[in-house]
Structure 1
Amino acid sequence: MSQLDTKQRILQTAAELFAAKGFDTLTMRDIAAACHIKAPSLYNHFKDKQALYQATLQYVFGQQGGELEACLQAAVPAQQKLDNFIALACRQMAGDVIFRQLFIRELLVPDEAHLQFLAQVVMADTCRALHDVFVEINPKCDPHFLTTSLMALLFFHFQANPLRPMLPGGSEQAQSTEYLTANIQAMMQNQLQK
């Protein structure tokens, strides 16, 4: 197995473990054991747990971020960029539990250094591009509020999906990715018309 294959396997395994257990509860030995390698071998790829964690966040978010940014850079009208972005983000949320869990874990167990890295390194380009699209649609909008509101809608609705059918008015249709996409798009359009 090549160095690149081993590193990718480590990142994938670390993502699953960090999403399930969090940063503080895991040791490098735990991660090495889950990767079926010895701890010293893990240190050949990452100098410490913090470096591995940051690389894991970049790996997981990078898998999603490139496609999302492409939606926001496409040569189409701004509203279509936003609608395409929301549709893709909804598909990603529905299909990638690890991505959702890592992000939500970061918010629930806030560590300022982790949050700064997430905001300034991992998410910055996508958020800036989204900000620009919001301003292109409505120059008078609050793009920061809209960006954080869209993140909240995406993460909350998909993370809460198992609970939704049990709540009053819940239905299978209201759990579908298509239903959530259409309603999140409508909410954003409504907010941008103000």
Structure 2
Amino acid sequence: MTDTRTAILDAAARLYAADGYSAVSMRDVAGEVSMTQANLYYHFRDKAQLVEDTLAHVLVTRMSPLDDLFKTTSSPEYQLRVFVEWFVTLLFNDLIFTQLMLRELIDGDMERVARLSRVVFDKPFSLIDGIVSAYSPGLRSALTTASVIALIIGHVQMARILPYLSSGHADHADPKIIAAHVLSTLRRALKDQSDAL
């Protein structure tokens, strides 16, 4: 990928994450990288392609370390811990990734979501699905994998308000505390499901 194209994708990602797709025009993106709209259209045929390529760029770039993390061991318990800690940290520390991913989950165009699912999400989902299957053989692994991911996303989203609730504490917004809690919850749930089979 050329430096210019990467710069455009990075700028578009910042704008889309902050303001949403409909609020950001091609002119806004061109201005952000100090180029003409005509030059931007040289790289991307239209806004739809720019949105999809931006999402693919951000999601693939941020998720690529997952492959290497999983190569370090074959133990499902260790892989689960590595994934939970990595994903919680990513969601807390990379607001552009988090905002774009949540935007797609909430109101993404279904055709784009289907393409991104095949091209971007399928491989990391399969890696997590493999952990779930190895951790608790016999489970409906795809649904359980979705529950694992949803639990992590939900806790990260709730971290903004938990410290202010009557039973909340300041450390409920700490990524390390959240990762440890999610991991403990998942281990119990996966063991309980496996024992029930």
Give the TM-score normalised by the residue count of structure 2.
0.90
Match of 2:37 among 18, 21, 39: 39
SS of the aligned residue for 1:76 comes to: coil
Q: How does 1:15-164 map to 2 (within 5 A)?
A: 15-164=13-162
Residue 188 in structure 1 maps to residue 186 in structure 2:
yes
After TM superposition, the runs of 4+ consecutive aligned structure 1 residues lying more than 6 A away are: none
Whether the 8 Å CA contact 1:72–1:130 is kept in 2: the answer is no
For 1:59 and 1:29, the matched residues in 2 are separated by: 20
Whether the 8 Å CA contact 1:14–1:31 is kept in 2: the answer is yes
Per-residue CA distance 1:64-93 (angstroms, 9 max, x = gap): 211123223433311111111111111111
Structure 1 residue 189, shift from structure 2 partner: 0.9
Q: Which amino acid aligns with 1:107?
A: L
Q: What stretches of structure 1 of length at least 5 have no aligned partner?
A: none
Structure 1 residue 38, shift from structure 2 partner: 0.7
Alpha carbon RMSD of aligned pairs, Å? 1.6
Structure 1 residue 102, shift from structure 2 partner: 0.6
Whether the 8 Å CA contact 1:93–1:100 is kept in 2: the answer is yes
For 2:187 and 2:116, the matched residues in 1 are separated by: 27
Whether the 8 Å CA contact 2:8–2:33 is kept in 1: the answer is yes
Whether the 8 Å CA contact 1:131–1:144 is kept in 2: the answer is yes
For 2:149 and 2:136, the matched residues in 1 are separated by: 19
State, as a whole percentage, how many aligned pairs show the same letter. 27
Q: What stretches of structure 2 of length at least 5 have no aligned partner?
A: none
Q: Which amino acid aligns with 1:42?
A: L
Q: Which amino acid aligns with 2:49?
A: A
Whether the 8 Å CA contact 2:163–2:171 is kept in 1: the answer is no
SS of the aligned residue for 1:192 comes to: helix
Deviation larger for 148-157 or 136-145: 148-157
Whether the 8 Å CA contact 1:71–1:84 is kept in 2: the answer is yes
Whether the 8 Å CA contact 1:73–1:129 is kept in 2: the answer is no
Question: Residue 170 of structure 2 corresponds to which residue in structure 1?
Answer: 172
